[in-house]
Amino acid sequence: MSEADCLFCRIVAKEIPARIVHETDRTLAFRDVNPQAPTHVLVVPKDHYPTAAALAAADDGLTDEVIRAAHEVAEQEGIAESGYRLVFNTGPGAGQTVFHVHGHVVGGRDLNWPPG
């Protein structure tokens, strides 16, 4: 898939509408269209990296910014103190379906362990 075909790149470019809840110069956070909890927000870097591994390998502080943005979303959504889960599915075997790295901020209910 090219970056031009990437769903999340198109959301970042505002070509596809999304319910944006947080934005910085290098990150964007928007509500998941298929929420798995009362709070389910995706946090993406605006630049295209297909997986968390690719982001980590190319990191110039952007990984930190994505995680910082995820925590800011959790605070904004009122789940930071009660707890939230931050999930990065990496690769098809882990359930990644959109190959633009994204962290799921999930909370607002008790989250069981182990997951799925």
| pTM for this prediction | 0.94
pLDDT at 16 over 60: yes
Instruction: Give the residue, 47 or 116, on which the prediction is more confident.
Output: 47
Residues identified as active-site = 102
Handedness of CA 41, 18, 24, 103 (dihedral sign): positive
pLDDT at 51 over 60: yes
Alpha helices in the chain (DSSP H): 7-12, 52-57, 62-77
